[in-house]
Every structure is written in C-alpha cells, then in structure tokens.
Amino acid sequence: MEPRIRVSAILRWKGRMLLCRHEKPGKEYWLLPGGGVNSGESLVDALHRELGEEIGIDERLSVEGPVAIVDSIAPTPSFAAKHVVHIIFAGDLGGRSLEAVTSQDAAVRGHRLFDLNELDGIVLHPPIARFLSRWQPGDPAVYLGALWAR
C-alpha cells in the first residue's frame, strides 16, 4: 500500500480556525480544509485547488509552511488499509467575509469556526488538537509522527 499525500491548512480568522465537518454512517468528525495531491501537482497548487473545492476560496491565499507533517496509519491491517501523510500549511483569512464559504465537495457537510479551547470536545482528523493548542504562527515545521496506533 502506497501512502496517500493530503495537504490541508490551519486557516485563522479573528483568533479562531476554520474546520470542515464530514460525516460517515454513525460518525461526525472535523478536518482541516484540504485534500489529496494529484500526480504532478505541487503541494501548494493542490492546497489552493482543494481550498476552492472545500470552502470556495478561489484566490491564491498566502500560506506559510508546511508547519506540520503528520503520518496517519490505520490501526488494524485490512483490505482497505490506510496510510496518509498529512502536510499542513497555515494561512490567515484576514478581512474576508466567511458568509460566502461554500463547498463543492459532497463529503463536506458544513463549516465552523472554532476557538482552540473548543477542540478538546470534537473528533478532529488527524488528531492534532494538542499540537494546535501549542503551535504559534511563525514556529518552525514539526513532524508529529504516527497518530494512529498500529
């Protein structure tokens, strides 16, 4: 099984961050906006494409990073074993109005701004809430290691 590369962004807006809500049967979880990288596509180009698809931001938002790299490996071997390398960037939504945030991605069921102290009560994939509570813009990139037990 080849690892899948996923890019995403910690998008700040007035001291909060934007997350996308996803649903699977019986489960709700939150993701940083982003998605998969296509063959031949740069990480930043993939991120901008995914931000357009997932939250409707089509202009080239200025991003920093990568600020974190997370290696997620499914806990049990199976036919559909999953290994995802998450490459996380950061950006500031600044003076934008978020009223126009929309998604063309059928998997996204909504968006919400979160204060960092709210993250303990939600299911966030990959589970980086502790990193987010310590990370400050301008910090060097960090490798968080495998977050799913093997």
Q: Is the pLDDT score of 144 beyond 70?
A: no
Task: State how many domains the chain has.
Answer: 1
pLDDT digits (tens, 9 = 90+) for 4-15: 999 999 988 887
Q: Is the pLDDT score of 103 beyond 60?
A: no
Q: Is the pLDDT score of 137 beyond 60?
A: yes
Torsion of CA 64, 2, 80, 85, to 10 degrees: -20
Map residue 54 onto helix, strand or coil.
helix
Cα–Cα nearest to 105, from 39, 10, 8, 11? 8
Q: Which is more confidently placed, 137 or 53?
A: 53
User: What pLDDT, on the 0 to 100 scale, is given for residue 149?
Assistant: 34
User: What pLDDT, on the 0 to 100 scale, is given for residue 14?
Assistant: 80
Span 22-31, mean pLDDT? Answer: 81
Distance between first and last Cα of the chain: 15
Domain that holds residue 127: 4-146
Query: What are the start-end ranges of the E strands in the chain?
Result: 4-13, 16-24, 27-31, 34-36, 63-73, 83-92, 108-114, 124-125, 142-146
pLDDT digits (tens, 9 = 90+) for 35-90: 999 999 999 999 999 988 888 877 778 899 899 898 888 776 666 668 889 999 99
Does the predicted TM-score (pTM) go above 0.85? Answer: no
Q: Is the pLDDT score of 147 beyond 90?
A: no
Q: Identify the CATH number of the domain in which residue 47 sits.
A: 3.90.79.10
